[in-house]
Amino acid sequence: MSRKAKRENSAHTKADILDAAEKLFAEKGFDGTGLMDIANEAGVPKSLIYYYFESKDEILKELINRLLQESLDLKKNNFEPIKAEELLTKEGITRFMEMSYPFFESHKRMYKIIHQEALKKEFIGDFLMQLQISQQASIDYFEKAGLKVDQTLLKFGHFFLILMPFLSFIVYKEKWCDHNNCDPELLREKFFDVLADVTTIVISKSITKE
């Protein structure tokens, strides 16, 4: 086997372990999942997990880092088709949320894990704080368009009034709809409408023309 093939095989094995851990952490909880459970789910020997990760905490940290990088890439890629001035309007904000929603929906298991473990694992709380890093891309984006940004207000509003409600919606919407006999798609439309209003207020207070 060539070195390239070995590297690719190693990368696939590590990804399989991470995917298995993500699935089990979301279904059984972090504390309820053992390394043998992960090995069985990934179809690898338990000893191979220790080749890539020192502990179960290290697996979770890697999952968090993977999500963070993908989140940063998402924001960068989704900003490009939208002009800065559009994001000062409810219509533009709604368009951005619609573009971003499939990503968050596809990573629902990770957001469930984050909700479950945030108060128990300091590094997950740090991850939520690190999502503020993504706001620097927003700040740069608006400033390049000649707009003045109140960075503290934008970061505060993004975290407490936009991001956290959005993540809660992703995690709990199905259970909420089951309990309240609601169509999830209809609920999504209503949620986006309200969240776009809130986001418009946050942006109008934190971003102005020079």
Q: pLDDT tens digit string along 55-79?
A: 999 999 999 999 988 887 887 777 6
Higher pLDDT, 10 or 190: 190
Identify the burial level of 110 via C-beta atoms within 10 angstroms of its C-beta, where 0-12 means exposed, 13-18 middle and 19 or more buried: buried
Task: Name the pTM for this structure.
Answer: 0.85
pLDDT for res 132? 65
pLDDT tens digits for 110-163? Answer: 999 999 998 888 888 888 877 766 677 788 888 988 999 999 999 899 889 998
147-149 vs 207-209, strand pairing mode = antiparallel
111 and 64 Cβ atoms separated by less than 8 Å? no
Phi, psi (rounded to 5 degrees) for 207: -130, 125
pLDDT for res 9? 67
Q: What is the mean pLDDT of residues 3-16?
A: 67
How far, in whole angstroms, is CA 110 from its chain's centroid?
7
Neighbours of 24 (CB within 10 A): 21
Q: What is the mean pLDDT of residues 16-30?
A: 97
Distance CA 28, CA 123 (A): 20
Q: What is the mean pLDDT of residues 39-45?
A: 96
Distance CA 121, CA 118 (A): 6
Q: Examine the pLDDT at 6 and tell me if it is beyond 50.
A: no
Q: Examine the pLDDT at 198 and tell me if it is beyond 70.
A: yes
Phi, psi (rounded to 5 degrees) for 153: -65, -40
pLDDT for res 4? 41
Widest CA span of the chain, in angstroms? 60
Instruction: Give 29's pLDDT tier (boundaries 50, 70, 90).
Output: very high
Q: Examine the pLDDT at 53 and tell me if it is beyond 60.
A: yes
pLDDT for res 141? 84
